[in-house]
A = this chain, B = another copy of it.
Amino acid sequence: MVIFSQGDEVITGATVDTNAAYLADHCSALGFDIIRHITVADELDDLVQVLQDIDEQADICLCTGGLGPTQDDLTTEAFAKAFKTELIFDETALVMMKDYFAKLHVDMPALNRKQAYLPADSTRIDNHWGTAPGFVASGKNCLFYCMPGVPYEMKNMLETVVLDDLRTRFTVEKTTLVTLRTMGMGESAMQQEIDKLALADDVRISFRAGLPENELKLVFPHGANEGEMHATVNRVKEVLSDSVFAVDGLGQSIKSLPAYVSQLMQNKGYTLNVLETLSQGDIAQQCDSKYLIKSTVFPQVSGIMSSFALLGVSIDESLAIKIAKQEHASTAATLTLVQLYEETASNETQIFIVVVDGKRTLSASKTIQGRIERKRTIASAAALNLLRKYLLNS
């Protein structure tokens, strides 16, 4: 399989190509062997050449980009030229586009008609989130899935159509992917702990470093015994201890820390009130509006201190607890979460976080380094992680 991205914005580096990783991640999890990622600019001859090269190298190609309405969108034309096929006007595609614009109360610009031309003998992939339909079509040897470059349109097509189609057309020995979602432990530290376990050779291990979450992926071979898989996952969880906050796979599905917290909050029917500082609205962003009643954001900690008439008082975990209790007395929410911070050294910030419900209090502090965006992200994730721990013990 080849992953093929098209577009000036990717080739010039104006955009990081997250589509390629997203597609590769899903397809390698299904057991497909990915041999290349290729990106080219919006140049017709170059596109034609690359499509023909891919056709010789691979059985399957997932393409993104170049399906838009403007003159620099050339994938469909290049496909037709590369494999000497015609472009046929697809009435249904036009109707869907018109519906899309009608919902936006906008007349469809004439240019968009171009997007309804698809290669002869191709199968349209409907786009429910934008205008450009995708298509599946065969070259000489290779099957091409062409999707838009806009990430959410591409993801929607992949998840609703392309993955199923791949599973139907190709027999892949389905492996089992289990993702351990972790926070606060680096890739090499995890690797060292896991090396000690001497896991079976047929368990493939990979890491995906992210912020604030790191993922550890275990891929078990086709036909692996379920009991043994559970046992292996538990051994790994044990050595990574507190840094694992969720397991995704083997019957559990937890896609992120915010999703997990949301599930716990809604299961208990709780609501939340937040006072946030360093994370500057990111806690509010990460919470579901189903349970978040209110978040008051003071980007500078002095704002919260002055609001509680505490200017000059030294900032620490006990002060955060005091503020949380006082704030909780004035809210109808089940829980109140408070976050304070203090610059402790050059480029170093300490955060103090508290969750209270009127009876029980859980608090923590944490030192964060790095750029402000990094600090905000970690500050917000640490708050949600504290909330998760609170909920698991309540």
Closest residue on chain B to residue A23 by CB atoms: B13
Closest residue on chain B to residue A39 by CB atoms: B37
Q: How far is the CA of A370 from the CA of B16 in the complex (A)?
A: 21
Q: Is A8 an interface residue (CB 8 A)?
A: yes
What 0/1 pattern do residues 256 to 284 of A give for CB contact below 8 A with B? Answer: 00000000000000000000000011111
Neighbouring B residues of A42 by C-beta, 8 Å: 206
Q: Is A254 an interface residue (CB 8 A)?
A: no
Neighbouring B residues of A22 by C-beta, 8 Å: 13
Pair A285/B281 contact, Cβ less than 8 Å: yes
CB distance from A158 to the nearest CB of B (A): 12
Pair A38/B41 contact, Cβ less than 8 Å: no
Interface size on A (CB < 8 Å)?
Answer: 84
Q: How far is the CA of A10 from the CA of B292 in the complex (A)?
A: 34
Pair B35/A46 contact, Cβ less than 8 Å: yes
Interface-forming stretch among A103-111, A119-127, A223-231? Answer: A103-111
Neighbouring B residues of A27 by C-beta, 8 Å: 13
Pair B38/A37 contact, Cβ less than 8 Å: yes
Q: Is A69 an interface residue (CB 8 A)?
A: yes
Closest residue on chain B to residue A191 by CB atoms: B70
Contacts A28-B12, A208-B9 given: A303-B297 contact, CB under 8 Å?
Answer: no
Q: Which A198-257 residues have C-beta < 8 A from chain B? A: 205-209, 217
Pair A191/B36 contact, Cβ less than 8 Å: no
Q: Is A326 an interface residue (CB 8 A)?
A: no
- A residues adjacent to B (C-beta < 8 A): 5, 8-18, 20-28, 34-42, 46, 50, 68-72, 103-106, 109-112, 129, 150, 152, 186-189, 191-192, 205-209, 217, 280-285, 287, 289, 292-300, 303, 307, 347, 367, 369-371
Can you show 22 pairs from A to B with CB atoms below 8 A apart? A11-B36, A13-B21, A14-B25, A14-B207, A14-B208, A16-B20, A34-B41, A68-B188, A69-B187, A69-B188, A70-B187, A103-B347, A104-B369, A150-B209, A284-B299, A285-B285, A287-B299, A289-B300, A293-B298, A294-B296, A294-B307, A296-B296
